[in-house]
């Protein structure tokens, strides 16, 4: 599994040559009552301010830096954010990038990919369809495949965000993390291990980890709902499954209505424009699905901002 030494080494690499690309994003500490939560503090890790608008930049850059890149460049299948991060990293390194996205991906994310110079292929109803087309194309071209969530380098990169949280504020009592394929929670839990209570959050329409736990192993799930473009993986990643089995006790499901309400609250009350996937950590608190202790310090991972601003009205 991914370990803390690998995460520390990755952060050192970022700091040595890519601090202009991988930003140290703010950790905003607020009294719980400021967010309508009965706990000592709520920390918001504002990772939506990262390059490309999401935490994905960390893992994708680490993947590219850790491998030889052929003349055909890099290739990825994505609901949007992993593609944007890969395209941004490819542009930083001056290599070609091809991105396969499903039809459910948002126009705003497709436009961002094009602006970054990526060749965008829209294919299939869901992420799994885009992934199959991407794999077939990669077999033809030999491009370096960047997986949205199931490669060690991707989890290690995501883990640098958790390391950053500890450097900025110490170890929180709990960390609330949205889950799609599991790259983010795999990295976060690999860093914190048992030192913090890492809580997995999923929409009811995309319960990859929840369903895997019910079945005792990763299984395919039907994908739908408000956060399907970001959290639309059909199955929890193999690496994330191993990490969460070791370090994550809770996997909670949330309704689309609670996610949408939290997204609008973050915009209306804090002026944070985030996508639905980034709102799950607040939704689990506002819905009462996770009830912190009165003395608890809870960290919310605000994971992405690739949202059409018009959708926040």
**Percentage of the chain modeled with pLDDT above 90:** 88
pLDDT mean over 129-153: 95
| Residue 229 scores a pLDDT above 80 | no
**Percentage of the chain modeled with pLDDT above 70:** 100
pLDDT mean over 281-304: 97
pLDDT of res. 186: 98
pLDDT of res. 233: 85
CA separation (Å) from 206 to 119, 129, 152, 247? Answer: 28, 15, 23, 21
pLDDT mean over 80-104: 94
| Residue 232 scores a pLDDT above 90 | no
pLDDT mean over 85-114: 92
- C-alpha 122/C-alpha 78 separation (Å) is 10
pLDDT of res. 309: 85
| Residue 24 scores a pLDDT above 90 | yes
Which numeric CATH code is attached to 56-145?
A: 3.40.50.1100
Q: Which residues have C-beta within 8 Å of that of residue 253, sequence separation ≥ 6? A: 202, 203, 204, 207, 210, 289
The pLDDT-based confidence of 147 (bands split at 50, 70, 90) is very high
- C-alpha 239/C-alpha 182 separation (Å) is 8
Domains 4-54+151-312 and 56-145 fall in the same CATH topology: yes
CA separation (Å) from 43 to 26, 46, 185, 238? Answer: 10, 9, 17, 29
Q: Are 313 and 288 in contact (CB under 8 A)?
A: no
| Residue 154 scores a pLDDT above 80 | yes
List of E strands, 192-265: 197-203, 250-254
| Residue 62 scores a pLDDT above 80 | yes
The class of domain 4-54+151-312 in CATH terms is alpha beta
**What are the structural domain ranges in the chain?**
4-54+151-312, 56-145
The pLDDT-based confidence of 228 (bands split at 50, 70, 90) is confident
The closest alpha carbon to 66, from 14, 136, 140, 20, belongs to 14
pLDDT mean over 47-51: 96
The pLDDT-based confidence of 79 (bands split at 50, 70, 90) is confident
The pLDDT-based confidence of 166 (bands split at 50, 70, 90) is very high
| Residue 59 scores a pLDDT above 90 | yes
The DSSP call for residue 272 is: -
Higher pLDDT among residues 231 and 194, named by residue: 194
pLDDT of res. 126: 83
């Amino acid at each position: 599994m991914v370990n803390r030494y690998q995460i520390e080494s990755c952060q050192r690499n970022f700091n040595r040559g890519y601090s202009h690309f991988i930003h140290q994003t703010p950790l905003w500490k607020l009294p719980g009552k400021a967010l309508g939560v009965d706990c000592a503090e709520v920390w918001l890790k504002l990772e939506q301010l990262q390059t490309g608008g999401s935490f994905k930049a960390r893992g994708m850059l680490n993947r590219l830096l850790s491998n030889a890149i052929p003349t055909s460049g890099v290739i990825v299948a994505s609901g949007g954010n992993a593609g944007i991060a890969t395209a941004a990293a490819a542009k930083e390194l001056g290599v070609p990038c091809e991105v396969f996205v499903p039809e459910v991906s948002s126009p705003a994310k497709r436009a961002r990919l094009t602006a970054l110079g990526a060749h965008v292929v829209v294919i299939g109803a869901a992420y799994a369809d885009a992934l199959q087309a991407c794999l077939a194309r990669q077999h033809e071209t030999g491009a370096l495949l960047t997986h949205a969530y199931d490669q060690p380098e991707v989890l290690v990169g995501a883990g640098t965000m958790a390391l950053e949280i500890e450097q900025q504020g110490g170890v929180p009592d709990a960390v609330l993390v949205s889950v799609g394929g599991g790259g983010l929670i795999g990295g976060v839990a690999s860093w914190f291990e048992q030192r913090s209570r890492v809580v997995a959050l999923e929409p009811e329409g995309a319960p990859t980890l929840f369903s895997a736990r019910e079945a005792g192993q990763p299984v395919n799930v039907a994908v739908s709902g408000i956060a399907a473009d970001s959290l639309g993986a059909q199955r929890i990643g193999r690496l994330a499954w191993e990490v969460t089995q070791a370090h994550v006790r809770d996997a909670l499901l949330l309704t689309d209505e609670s996610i949408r309400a939290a997204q609008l609250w973050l915009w209306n009350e804090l002026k944070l424009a985030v996508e639905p996937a980034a709102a799950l950590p607040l939704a689990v608190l506002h819905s009462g699905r996770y009830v912190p202790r009165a003395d608890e310090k809870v960290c919310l991972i605000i994971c992405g901002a690739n949202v059409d601003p018009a959708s926040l009205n």
